[in-house]
């Protein structure tokens, strides 16, 4: 999935152009959430009818079908020549190098790029810092069962309405980035996300909890799409893979440790306190995009992208 995600982010601007990256990322997010909603609904029934092995076979078959469809898309798309030309240029540049870059050299190139691109570096740092709020990421089922005294059906409602809110945000994210500066959008999303997370640990009302979870997931969708879109728009194709790999690698170190800590705290101090701590941490960083002069330059609006090279 990591390999597929990197390749997808490289192909998106070639297919749709940089001016449509945010909108298309929103559509991709919405379609993925829709598929997840349908898949989770069908999964239980299929599991009972055709067994686990049958479900996994269908799962693999759908991935294979998607791969075949993508091959036809690349062949028939009007951007085929553009892709071939860019690939030819890249190969020509690589041949000029006497010594091929090894893994550590490419990793060093990624760090150098981050050093020169301060907005991108600080966005990645902010993303990693916010991963500390992953205390509650896998504990929703604990919150629903112990804090809200809910059943498996209640947990299903939490997930269903949360995914629906994410789908809606994915469809309108393009309009949001056109109306608001990216730094303002990031700050607003962080405030909403943190406040809703804190309130989920305070309230015991199931209906209010479902509504708050919708705010958490929808604001998280805005943050994720904004970050991914900026990575696609403002990083050259040949560097994008290693930059995203660096960001994923840093998160991969933090998230497991924080998840373990979240489980420990929920067992000893209560799940409500875990959500309060997690949300408070997000709120504490909410003003950073507005205060920091580098992140304030991050803009995804179409009329400002032409100046991004001068900004960065």
Identify the pLDDT of residue 18: 64
Distances from the Cα of 95 to the Cα of 27, 84, 98, 151, angstroms? 38, 16, 7, 61
Identify the pLDDT of residue 76: 45
**What are 89's two structure tokens?**
């240029």
Burial class (CB in 10 A: 0-12, 13-18, 19+), 198: buried
Residue stretches of the chain with pLDDT short of 70 = 1-10, 13-14, 16-19, 40-41, 44, 48, 73-111, 114, 135, 137, 236-242, 245, 298-312
pLDDT digits (tens, 9 = 90+) for 69-87: 877 765 544 445 555 555 5
pLDDT digits (tens, 9 = 90+) for 113-161: 767 777 777 777 787 777 777 767 678 888 999 999 988 888 888 988 9
Identify the pLDDT of residue 220: 86
Identify the pLDDT of residue 109: 65
Identify the pLDDT of residue 99: 45
Beta carbons within 8 Å of 94's beta carbon, 6+ residues apart: 100
List of domains in the chain: 2-311 (1.20.1250.20)
């Amino acid at each position: 999935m990591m390999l597929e995600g990197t390749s997808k982010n490289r192909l998106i601007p070639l297919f749709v152009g940089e001016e449509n990256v945010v909108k298309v990322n929103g559509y991709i997010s919405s379609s993925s959430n829709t598929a997840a909603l349908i898949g989770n609904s069908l999964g239980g029934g299929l599991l009972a009818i055709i067994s686990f092995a049958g479900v996994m076979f269908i799962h693999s078959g759908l991935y294979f079908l998607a791969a075949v469809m993508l091959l036809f898309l690349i062949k028939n798309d009007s951007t085929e020549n553009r892709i071939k030309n860019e690939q030819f240029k890249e190969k020509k540049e690589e041949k000029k190098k006497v010594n091929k870059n090894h893994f550590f050299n490419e990793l060093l190139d990624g760090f150098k790029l981050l050093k020169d691109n301060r907005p991108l570096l600080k966005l990645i740092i902010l993303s990693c810092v916010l991963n500390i709020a992953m205390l509650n990421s896998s504990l929703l089922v604990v919150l629903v069962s112990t804090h809200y005294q809910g059943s498996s059906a209640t947990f299903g409602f939490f997930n269903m309405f949360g995914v629906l809110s994410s789908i809606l945000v994915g469809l309108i994210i393009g309009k949001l980035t056109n109306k608001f500066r990216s730094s303002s959008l990031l700050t607003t999303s962080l405030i909403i996300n943190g406040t809703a997370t804190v309130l989920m640990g305070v309230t015991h009302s199931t209906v209010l909890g479902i509504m708050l979870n919708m705010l958490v997931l929808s604001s998280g969708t805005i943050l994720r799409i904004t970050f991914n879109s900026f990575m696609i728009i403002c990083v050259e194709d040949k560097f994008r893979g290693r930059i995203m790999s660096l960001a994923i690698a840093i998160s991969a170190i933090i998230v497991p440790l924080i998840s373990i800590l979240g489980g420990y705290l929920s067992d000893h101090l209560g799940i409500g306190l875990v959500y309060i701590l997690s949300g408070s941490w997000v709120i504490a960083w909410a003003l950073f995009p507005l205060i920091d002069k580098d992140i304030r330059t991050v803009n995804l609006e179409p009329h400002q992208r032409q100046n991004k090279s001068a900004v960065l």
